[in-house]
Structure 1
Amino acid sequence: MDQTTPREAAEAIRRDERMHGSSQAGMRAQNERAVLTLIRRHGELAKADIARRSGLSPQTASVIMRVLEADQLVLREKPRRGRVGQPSVPMRLNPDGAFSLGLKIGRRSAELVLMDFVGRVRASERQTYAYPRLDAVLDFVGAAEARVVAAIDPKLRTRIVGLGIAMPFELWSWAEEIGAPAASMDEWRTADIAGALGEATGLPVHLANDATAACAAENVFGAARSSDYLYVFVGAFVGGGLVIDGTLVTGRTGNAGALGPMPVPRARTAGSDAAGFDQLINVASIHVLEKMIAEQGGDPLEIWRSDAAWDGLGDSLDRWLAIAGEGLAHALVAASSLYDFECAMIDGGFPPAVRTRLIEETERAMMSLKRLGLTPLEIRPGSFGSIARAMGAASLALFARYPLDHRVLYAED
């Protein structure tokens, strides 16, 4: 029986790789990705299950698990005895195996999170503003980074693998819609935010569209377990993402599933019938609700506080939910004519109770639309709410270092 420790086994493998060249190291890395991906999906797996699901031999699966254990990326659970044979030893991901930082830069708020290897947010810091200023965001990250990193033991801080940034593409656009000075927003046009934060933090930096990042968080860490869906995130401006065959589809320019520009019927308002078309971004975005609140004499920026429950918005919230639900219904029906999604997921920067009401309004509006020839589309709630974008940002850095193996996921599906 092999009495070597996991660390000794890992060192032996690495010595062998140095002797035989890079191809063997590449194969091991590929096998490690497959094993980590399967454990991530199932929560915990024993060696026999990993070998069966991955197609690796039992011996190779055992070696890979020993290496991952030596690297502190997986942990052994207690042996479990079945009816016959030796007890199995399930393995699970080590939450402390790796960490990443995720920064969401939005039109009304910025948020920085520290996320662990299993997708749990260990600490977060949030700042709200009337509109984003480059210097203010950089100052916020500089101060918040030390506070969120302090949430873990100093010995673990070397395991922070990078920083991900989730922000709207062309953040400077639509300055008028959010009441921001065009000159102030224009500074984002030429800003190298990734370079500036890479220099400030000393970490590898990865950048993605904010709604796409939120979709990534849902796809890996969410509870839905669907492999084909359209994801909608309702923030200050609405956006979305696509998951097909379990894979986040980003498109040629990284902007796939950008629902905001989609044409939908113009919203009906008091004293006015809908006529013509508008973009979904001007119908199902929270900035539309902000204008309604301001018209009633309220402070629209209050809804962006992290503890805001949106109680007391009354008629403004009711009207916005009806308008947003109708716009989303048209968008979802149009999207389902292009691909037979299993479901649509709606999430956003609002309390869970508001998300539930928005889904109900969308379902109600869909019932009145002609859907002959289309596969029925179930609407489900997203898993994370406002923090989804920052989690998605953190996942950019995490999976740049430890990529998912979509082949084994596709094979299982």
Structure 2
Amino acid sequence: MRGAVVTSISPGLSQKRVRDHNARLLLSLLLRHGDLPGSDLARLSGLSAPTVSDILRGLEADGFLKRGDPVRGRVGKPSLPMRIDPEGALSWGFKIGRRSAELILLDLAGAIRAERRLPYAEPHPDEVLAFLAAATAEICAGLSPRQVARIGGIGVAAPFELWSGDEVRHRSRTFRHWSGVDLRDRIAGFSDLPVSIINDATAACRAEHIYGRGREFSDYACFFVGTYIGGGIVLNNSVYEGRRGNAGALGSLRTVGPHGEGLQLVDAASIHLLEDRLSEAGLDPEALWRQPQDWSALARHVDPWLGRVAQELAGACLSTCAVVDFEAVLIDGAFPSSIRSDLVDRVRRYLVHQDSRGLILPRIEAGTIGAKARAIGAAAGPISSQYLLDTNVGMAIA
């Protein structure tokens, strides 16, 4: 960015550091609120109109913003809204899951420009990383030199300790080869782009925060119901990963089983439990993942599972709000949108019957991103770290 270089938010006393912070702030506001004229950006940011105008010119010159159509009001000259230029930045998002790996190329506005998928049963790191290398090269071959130059990094989303969950559950698929794999080092063998690694559920939270319903709230928790449920938290308008990258490990919240035994939420509110129900009924659990997803023919098995998940989530919502006064809890997952709507409605109903003494009940809202949230959130990592404001970064004097 000429005149508005975005590097690190870490503030010093120099004008460059202040300008960097302000450029990130304006880009973040435009992503959050949509097209805005300079006057509105000045009001929302607290910056002076000349400062905003100067930064916007720099961002436009560097290809991060473009001008919208003039808006004519009743008095004075027309206002000129500024908008995000999708071509301003591109980023790879790579989701490593227990059934497939998914690669997307995301633009600054949150649109998926390209995607590739590798299904597998028992993946090996060599196979998955070879797919990543080949797929990125193939997609880049169809891009212009300018677009390739705008790719800022590779974000990887994967469950922490990917290899452990299936071994615990004695599944045939094994991830034992992933133990000890240094993904950054392996990816550096075929790409010089910076690599960021994030928990897959936290990545889903980031996607919702930057490009979904999360833009409506400042402090909230996200639950993402996948094969294993997980989550993430947002504090002060930024996804909070914690000192060791494991904040918002909502799948590890404690709950109680049918016989009074202690369980984690991941053992009581995950899709793998629905898979088990289908297997016990002699049905193929892979039916849950066929695209486009449609679970209507499985309603007899889905309904009791959905009821239990809703009850567990109602209790989990209160547990999270006992620690932080979240204004909302967003719920999404790797399931059809109709299942998401049903689940959210049930959680709302169950929540009012919970013992909430000493707590302020949060709003329970549906997410909007869906099954691709983890890949989108992974791709949003390099975009966020290079161009957007993180209000959880410390402001130590350099």
Normalised by the length of structure 1, the TM-score is: 0.86
Aligned to 1:197: 187
One of 144, 155, 162 as aligned partner of 1:164:
155
Aligned to 2:9: none
In the alignment, residue 239 of structure 1 is paired with which amino acid? G
In the alignment, the residues of structure 2 paired with residue 372 and residue 244 of structure 1 have an alpha-carbon distance, to the nearest angstrom, of: 23
Aligned to 1:83: 74
Alignment partner of 1:231 is 2:222: yes
Taking a change above 3 Å as real, the CA distance of residues 333 and 61 of structure 1, as seen in their structure-2 partners, is: closer
Structure 1 segment 7-406 matched on structure 2, within 5 A: 23-149=14-140, 152-177=143-168, 179-180=170-171, 184-224=174-214, 225-266=216-257, 268=258, 274-404=259-389, 406=391
- Greater mean alpha carbon deviation, residues 360-369 or residues 329-338: 360-369
Q: Give 1:198 shift.
A: 3.0
In the alignment, the residues of structure 1 paired with residue 224 and residue 203 of structure 2 have an alpha-carbon distance, to the nearest angstrom, of: 10
Q: Answer yes or no: is the 8 Å Cα contact 1:108–1:236 preserved in 2.
A: no
The size of the alignment, in residue pairs, is 385
**Identical amino acids, percent of aligned pairs:** 42
- Greater mean alpha carbon deviation, residues 230-239 or residues 398-407: 398-407
Q: Give 1:276 shift.
A: 2.7
Q: Answer yes or no: is the 8 Å Cα contact 2:224–2:230 preserved in 1.
A: yes
Q: Give 1:387 shift.
A: 0.5
In the alignment, residue 215 of structure 1 is paired with which amino acid? C
Q: Answer yes or no: is the 8 Å Cα contact 2:256–2:263 preserved in 1.
A: yes
In the alignment, the residues of structure 2 paired with residue 290 and residue 45 of structure 1 have an alpha-carbon distance, to the nearest angstrom, of: 46
Q: Give 1:112 shift.
A: 0.9
In the alignment, the residues of structure 2 paired with residue 89 and residue 405 of structure 1 have an alpha-carbon distance, to the nearest angstrom, of: 27
In the alignment, the residues of structure 2 paired with residue 286 and residue 338 of structure 1 have an alpha-carbon distance, to the nearest angstrom, of: 26
Aligned to 2:396: none
In the alignment, the residues of structure 2 paired with residue 214 and residue 378 of structure 1 have an alpha-carbon distance, to the nearest angstrom, of: 19
- Greater mean alpha carbon deviation, residues 327-336 or residues 384-393: 327-336
Q: Answer yes or no: is the 8 Å Cα contact 1:128–1:304 preserved in 2.
A: no
In the alignment, residue 75 of structure 2 is paired with which amino acid? V
Give the superposed CA RMSD.
2.5
Q: Answer yes or no: is the 8 Å Cα contact 2:25–2:388 preserved in 1.
A: no
Normalised by the length of structure 2, the TM-score is: 0.89
In the alignment, residue 130 of structure 1 is paired with which amino acid? A
Aligned to 1:410: none
In the alignment, the residues of structure 2 paired with residue 27 and residue 252 of structure 1 have an alpha-carbon distance, to the nearest angstrom, of: 25
In structure 1, stretches of 5+ residues that fail to align are 1-6, 15-21, 269-273, 408-413
In the alignment, residue 72 of structure 1 is paired with which amino acid? G
In the alignment, residue 167 of structure 1 is paired with which amino acid? A
In structure 2, stretches of 5+ residues that fail to align are 6-12, 393-398
Q: Give 1:99 shift.
A: 0.5
